[in-house]
Amino acid sequence: MTRVIAVANQKGGVGKTITSLNVAACMARRGRRTLLVDLDPQGHCGVGLGIDTEPLKRTTYELLVDKGASVDDLAVKLPWPELATLSFVPANLRLALAERELSTRSTLGNLALATRLKDIRADYDEIILDCPPSLSKLTLNAFLASDMVLIPVAVGFFSIHGVRMLAETLRDIFEETGLDYDIRCLITRYRSGQTVSREVRRAADEMFGDYCFTSVIRETAEVEKSVGAQTPLCISAPRCHAALDYEALCDELIELSRGVTVELLGDEGDDAGKEGADGREGQKAV
Ligand SMILES: Nc1ncnc2c1ncn2[C@@H]1O[C@H](COP(=O)(O)OP(=O)(O)O)[C@@H](O)[C@H]1O
Ligand SMILES: [Mg+2]
């Protein structure tokens, strides 16, 4: 079953892009049909994947505003044979223009992405949306197109600040629209043995309950190097801490999607599905 994950946090530098492109790469390396869409006009996903996005004429902008453009037309080729099942729609600064055009379309403007993804859902197992560092129209489009919002929280003194507001805003949006929501927190730049890392972990656990991923992404020098090498970690440094952590996160994500499938198929008897995908419905903290 296809799942759309929006990777979002209005704060910059928390690991949205690193998480989006490495989760997408890990999933593709496992043979899962994966689509990565860059929704940030800064185009950092493309940078991390070795693509010069500046001259591109067909990008996420077309996906949002041009009804005639298809994901197949817009996806760019990536050089790694191991990632043959990964499709990538890049962004560049032109995407900032979409913001204004979507604003003029009233409520329907917020559903532009959801509408476009609906047509191609069946072609993919995972669709990952890398959001900009703001609660803009682009981010709203991502929320309304997604089944899960993954909020990366980077360890730091102010890191948990603002996350509660984001989670509450999300809850309001989903309640207003009547959509089901699954909001999960991922701690990034974690350092074992460091007090502030432990404190952020505790705060996130309190806020999200079981909706905080068990996997944390450790602070790892290879992450910065992989950005420099414009290559995902599973290719450039598959044994480094962060690469192993992203693999563990993908295990968790795949396990969650299995739960959803079982729920939909009703495999586990009458009441099995009512508890939610992973039996943790009652512990939703936000
Ligand atoms: N686990 C990590 N270890 C070390 N550096 C990291 C890690 N995760 C992210 N970074 C660094 O943090 C910076 C910001 O990450 P990025 O994913 O671009 O954030 P965002 O997309 O939220 O703005 C990047 O330069 C990246 O190299
Ligand atoms: Mg980013």
Is 7 among the domain residues?
Answer: yes
Distance, CA of 7 to CA of 267 (rounded, Å): 30
- pLDDT value at residue 164: 86
- pLDDT digits 0-9 by tens, 246-280: 999 999 999 998 876 666 566 544 444 333 334 33
Looking up tokens 């959803």, which residue turns up?
260
Considering all CA atoms of the chain, what is the largest pairwise distance in Å, rounded to the nearest integer?
Answer: 55
Q: Which residue's CA is the closest to the ligand 1 atom numbered 6? A: 223
* Cα–ligand 2 centroid distance for 69 (angstroms): 24
Q: What does residue 274 show for φ and ψ, rounded to 5 degrees? A: -65, -20
Is 280 among the domain residues?
Answer: no
Distance, CA of 146 to CA of 113 (rounded, Å): 10
* DSSP labels, 156-193: STTTTTTHHHHHHHHHHHHHHHT----EEEEEESB-TT
* pTM for the structure as a whole: 0.91
Distance, CA of 134 to CA of 150 (rounded, Å): 15
Amino acid at 225: K
Burial of residue 199 (CB within 10 Å: 0-12, 13-18, 19+) is middle
Is 112 among the domain residues?
Answer: yes
- pLDDT value at residue 66: 86
Is 57 among the domain residues?
Answer: yes
- pLDDT digits 0-9 by tens, 26-68: 999 999 999 999 999 999 999 999 999 999 999 999 999 988 8
- pLDDT value at residue 58: 92
Ligand nearest to the CA of 40: 2
Taking ligand 2, which is a single-atom ion, which protein residues have CB atoms under 5 Å away?
A: 16-17, 44
Ligand 1: atom nearest CA of 218 is 1
- pLDDT value at residue 278: 40
Is 284 among the domain residues?
Answer: no
Ligand 1: atom nearest CA of 242 is 1
196-205, long-range: CB < 8 A, 24+ apart:
196/155, 196/156, 196/157, 197/155, 200/153, 200/155, 200/156, 200/159, 200/160, 203/160, 204/153, 204/160, 204/163
The total number of structural domains in the chain stands at 1
| Structural domain span for residue 43 | 3-266
- pLDDT value at residue 29: 98
Distance, CA of 88 to CA of 82 (rounded, Å): 15
- pLDDT digits 0-9 by tens, 181-213: 799 999 999 999 999 999 999 999 999 999 999
- pLDDT value at residue 171: 86
Which of 17, 18, 245 maximizes ligand 1 atoms within 8 Å of its Cβ, making it the mutation to test the pocket? 18
* Cα–ligand 1 centroid distance for 224 (angstroms): 7
SS3 147: coil
Q: Which residue's CA is the closest to the ligand 1 atom numbered 13? A: 13
Q: Are 239 and 220 in contact, with CB atoms under 8 Å apart?
A: no
Q: How far is CA 87 from CA 72, 83, 150, in A?
A: 8, 9, 20
Domain with residue 175: its CATH number is 3.40.50.300
Distance, CA of 89 to CA of 120 (rounded, Å): 13
* Cα–ligand 1 centroid distance for 244 (angstroms): 16
Percent of the chain at pLDDT exceeding 70: 90
Is 10 among the domain residues?
Answer: yes
Q: Which residue's CA is the closest to the ligand 1 atom numbered 15? A: 15
* Cα–ligand 1 centroid distance for 256 (angstroms): 25
Ligand nearest to the CA of 18: 1
Give the DSSP H/E element, type plus range, for residue 89: strand 86-89
Ligand nearest to the CA of 39: 2
- pLDDT digits 0-9 by tens, 129-177: 999 999 989 999 999 999 999 999 999 877 888 898 898 888 888 888 8
Ligand nearest to the CA of 227: 1
Is 95 among the domain residues?
Answer: yes
- pLDDT digits 0-9 by tens, 69-122: 899 999 999 999 999 999 999 999 999 998 888 878 766 678 899 999 998 999
Is 272 among the domain residues?
Answer: no
Ligand 1 pocket, CB under 6 A: 12-18, 44, 133, 188-189, 217, 219-220, 223-224, 227, 242
